[in-house]
Amino acid sequence: MRSDPLANAAVPVPEEPSAPGGLPRHVAIIMDGNGRWANRRGLPRTLGHRKGIEAVRRVVRHAGERRIEVLTLFAFSRENWNRPKAEVNELMSLLRRFIRSDLEDLIANNVQIQVIGGRDDIDKDIVGLIEEAEARTRLNDGLRLVLAFNYGGRDELARAARKLAFAVAAGQIAPEAVNEDTLAAYLDTAALPDPDLVIRTSGEQRISNFLLWQSAYAEYAFPATLWPDFGAAHLDEALADYATRQRRFGAVPVTIAKP
Ligand code: IPE
Ligand code: IPE
Ligand code: MG
């Protein structure tokens, strides 16, 4: 027997996917504006990048204190290879220096490090440092710090599709079994929850090939602050704003039923 559709009004409404006042599990940041920060001071762009490392330290510390589960930082995009060679070298060296100088501190603070992005075209010594950082922090269970380095969303999807194609060709997966979950399992972020909040500093409002698949339902924030000036208060502001958003994931927003 079909029930009266109006009777649905009495059915308890499903819980809202993300309750107002909620804290994002995963915050991802496009750290932009280092060059402009330096330009405004008449300094070389590379100094802006160096200054940006201090913001990284502030934000990592604060995200841990705020009990954010995952913090992803976009540090170098595949498209950033198109910059002048000296700037590319500086950005490469910055990752080297950051791991060398901060790894012990991060270990002491129970941070787990993961690096996403292609590894084939970066210097072998950097790959070695990345592997060391990941191995030595693997068992930590505090903040998960994900560095997107030599990362591009389309590249990540293409690499995942290639691995999946090999698995299908080898008979490990039936072609008809390929779905969203199988593809996601081949992404660099397979073990991570999707970002809830994506912040891009410097006022630019674009995603520049960052976490394309994973950000399908992310909330966005575009603070005008240049990355080297970004700190705890700016992160708190973005978190407070996030808490006011109503996430719907395509469903009908929850309303309180009138008597
Ligand atoms: C972000 O700052 C850092 C990286 C892209 C590595 P930019 O270097 O893009 O700074 P702007 O956008 O030129 O100011
Ligand atoms: C995005 O910033 C990449 C990183 C922050 C690492 P860009 O400055 O490279 O992006 P576009 O070129 O302005 O889109
Ligand atoms: Mg930029």
Tens digits of per-residue pLDDT, 53-65? 999 999 999 999 9
Domain-located, residue 254: no
Catalytic residues: 32, 80
Evaluate: CB of 36 within 6 angstroms of ligand 1.
yes
Q: Which atom of ligand 1 is nearest to the CA of 31?
A: 1
Contacts of 180 (CB under 8 A, 6+ apart): none
What's the confidence (pLDDT) of residue 254?
A: 72
Backbone angles phi, psi at 149, to 5 degrees: -130, 130
Domain-located, residue 35: yes
Domain-located, residue 147: yes
Could you tell me the residue range of the domain that residue 206 belongs to? 26-242
- What's the pTM? 0.92
Residue among 29, 79, 90 to mutate when testing ligand 2 (max atoms within 8 A of CB): 79
- Any idea what DSSP says for residue 242? H
What's the confidence (pLDDT) of residue 259?
A: 63
Give tens-digit pLDDT for 105-135. 999 999 999 999 999 999 999 999 999 999 9
Domain-located, residue 21: no
Domain-located, residue 127: yes
Give tens-digit pLDDT for 191-208. 999 999 999 999 999 999
What's the confidence (pLDDT) of residue 258?
A: 63
Domain-located, residue 249: no
CA 36, chain centre distance (Å): 23
Q: Which ligand has the nearest atom to the CA of 84?
A: 1
Number of domains in the chain: 1
Q: How is 181-217 classified by DSSP, letter by letter?
A: HHHHHTSTTTTSPPPSEEEE-TT----TTSSTTTTTT
What's the confidence (pLDDT) of residue 257?
A: 66
Q: How far is 120 from 83, CA to CA, in rounded Å? A: 19
Domain-located, residue 41: yes
Q: Which atom of ligand 1 is nearest to the CA of 36?
A: 14
Mean pLDDT of the chain: 93
Regions of the chain short of the pLDDT cut 70: 1-21, 256-259
Domain-located, residue 15: no
For position 150, which CATH number holds?
3.40.1180.10
